[in-house]
Chain A
Amino acid sequence: DIVMTQTPLSSPVTLGQPASISCRSSQSLVHSDGNTYLSWLQQRPGQPPRLLIYKISNRFSGVPDRFSGSGAGTDFTLKISRVEAEDVGVYYCMQATQFPPTFGQGTKVEIK
């Protein structure tokens, strides 16, 4: 299985300041079809996961543009340009390039 490793595991952030989460995969996530199936999910406290970003950098419907994704190969980043109170929660990267789909261990974003 592909192992997804996120850093940091916890990120205290001041409201209005940026936040960045890294995700590294144990193998390249480039599929034989040329796509990279790397997604980012947000899980607010007591809520189910919610899709934010898919295929590295595509924002899902309704996701604010302060969220952005980047990266390639084995290294990926989720950035929040200006953290708002509603952004508190755990963020997961996830790969679906290789079977079985696997998730990172999660990064907790909290307000300082």
Chain B
Amino acid sequence: QVQLQESGPGLVKPSETLSLTCTVSGGSVSSGSYYWSWIRQPPGKGLEWIGYIYYSGSTNYNPSLKSRVTISVDTSKNQFSLKLSSVTAADTAVYYCARVFAVAAVFDYWGQGTLVTVSS
């Protein structure tokens, strides 16, 4: 069964860049059947889709975050990554990575999530 695991700093200073990596096991980011996505959830609030990447490097980002987001993929490490620049306290959230089964547009497997706090 596929598993996803987020990793990265839990604390980021305002105006700096948040960087997270998602490591995939039990499956390959090079599979043409899936997109690889990031979603976030501010404490006590709902879910917000950030963006996703295809193994080819093709990306789609939420327009609300597009100017600050970069998602990349490293097929050799079976990982994909998120960078969010110029962060503020509003970017404090649990960040999840997830697999998207492209044909059914289904977010079928999720990582456990990692809390990132933006604070000086």
Query: Interface of A with B (CB < 8 Å)?
Result: 35, 37, 39, 41, 47-51, 54-55, 58, 60, 92, 94, 96-97, 99-106
Specify the main secondary structure of chain A where it touches its partner.
loop
CB-CB under 8 A from B107, the residues of chain A are 39, 41, 49, 51, 94, 96
Contact A39 B49 (CB under 8 A): no
Smallest beta-carbon distance B2→chain A, Å? 12
Q: Is B46 an interface residue (CB 8 A)?
A: yes
Q: A97-B105, A103-B49 are in contact. Are A50 and B110 (CB under 8 A)?
A: yes
Per a CB cutoff under 8 Å, which of A49, A60, A99 touches B96? A49
- In Å, the complex CA distance between A41 and B109 comes to 11
Question: Which residue of chain B has its CB nearest to the CB of A100?
Answer: B62
Smallest beta-carbon distance B96→chain A, Å? 6
- In Å, the complex CA distance between A51 and B110 comes to 9
Q: A48-B96, A48-B111, A48-B113 are in contact. Are A39 and B106 (CB under 8 A)?
A: yes
Contact B96 A92 (CB under 8 A): no
CB-CB under 8 A from A60, the residues of chain B are 106, 108
CB-CB under 8 A from B46, the residues of chain A are 92, 103-106
Contact A37 B49 (CB under 8 A): no
Smallest beta-carbon distance B51→chain A, Å? 8
Contact with A along B86-113 (1 / 0, CB 8 A): 0000000000100000001111111111
